[in-house]
Structure 1
C-alpha cells in the first residue's frame, strides 16, 4: 500500500505506448488469443505478443485499492481490437484472474480528439475535470488541460511508474 499520496478521484490512461508497447491498430493483427504460457499475454495472428508493461497491473491494482475511478481514453482507429485485447487479457484483480477491462469503469476508444473522450467520461461519471489525471505518451493530447484535467506525459519508453508521478505531482 502506498502512503502519503493524495490520489485523484479519476485516473485516465491512453493505451498505445502508455499501457502496452505497441499501436493496437498498426502493430498487431486480429484474431487475438491468450498465450498458453501467460494469461496476461495475447498472441496475434502472426505470433506478436500483446501485454501490458510489466508494472501496469500492480499500478492499476493499487489505484483500485485506493478507490480511484480508472478509465481509458484512446484515439485508436481499431477500438474493437483495443476492447477485444482488454477483454481477452487476464490479469490479477483483487486476487483472481479477470479480464483486464474490469479495471476500467469507462473505456472511450475511437479516433478523434481526447477532449471528446474526456467530455464523455465527465458527463457519465460526474467527476470534475480538475479531479482527473491523464497519462499519455503524446504531448499533443495535453489539450485536455483546457478542461482542467492534469496531464502527465509518459516519458519512459519501457514502463510507466504512475505512483512516482503521482507522488511528485499530487499533494501528499
Structure 2
C-alpha cells in the first residue's frame, strides 16, 4: 500500500517510532566501505536537494577517495571513488531534518562495516541540509564487527537499547538485507520492526516503514 508523509502526519506524532535506525552500506549509501581503496576524505560538492537541484543550496553530497591514495583491490580505474547517499535515503533524511513532525524522533545507525573508520568519515563529512551533517542528526551509532559487535546486528541493537533506553518495540529499522536477513533476525530476537531495502533506501520504503509502524501501534492499542 502506498503511503506518504502526509498520511503519517494525519495520524499524529504519537504513532511514530521513538528511534529510527538505519544500516549504512547499500542502505543509506553506496558503495560499501570495503570496496574503497582508501579513506574517503575528499568532500564532493553538489546540490543538497535532489528534487530541486537548480534552486538548491550547495553542500557536501559525498566523500571521495583522493586520486593519489587510490590503488590496490577495489580501486576504480576509470572514475572517482565516491560515497554518496541513495536518492531516496537523502530525501528521507531531509524529511526527518526539516519536518517538525519528527522533532522527537531519534536517529541511529547499525552497521557491520569492515571499515568503521571509513564509515565515520562519511558520517562526519556528508551534509543533509545546509550546515547539517549526518553526524549532527545521529544520536546512537554502533559500527563494525569487533569487540562486543558481531556480524549479527542483534549485538548492535542490544548496545543501542542499553545506551538509549528505548524499548525494542519503539524502534524502526531499515536494512538492505542483501547479505543476511538482519530484519528477520532482529524481529525474531527482539521484536524490532524492520523494512528491507534491497536496492538502497527508496522514499516509498521509508514511508512504508512509518505506515507499518503506525498500523502496528494502533493494533496494539486496540488489544489493550
- TM (normalized to structure 2)? 0.68
Give 1:81's aligned residue: 118
Which residues in structure 2 correspond to 1:1-172 (within 5 Å)? 2=6, 3-5=9-11, 6-27=15-36, 29-37=38-46, 38-46=59-67, 47-64=80-97, 65=100, 66=102, 67-92=104-129, 96-111=130-145, 112=150, 113-138=152-177, 139-141=180-182, 142-145=184-187, 146-155=189-198, 157-161=199-203, 162-171=206-215
- Over 3 Å counting, the alpha-carbon distance change for 1:31 and 1:61 in structure 2 is closer
User: Which stretch has the larger CA shift, 142-151 or 128-137?
Assistant: 142-151
How many pairs align?
168
User: Which stretch has the larger CA shift, 33-42 or 116-125?
Assistant: 33-42
Larger radius of gyration: 2
RMSD: 2.1
**Counterpart Cα distance in 2 of 1:18 and 1:36:** 21
Residue segments in structure 2 that go unaligned for 5+ positions in a row:
47-58, 68-79, 219-224
User: Which stretch has the larger CA shift, 31-40 or 144-153?
Assistant: 31-40
**Counterpart Cα distance in 2 of 1:134 and 1:14:** 8
- TM (normalized to structure 1)? 0.86
* SS of corresponding position for 2:93: helix
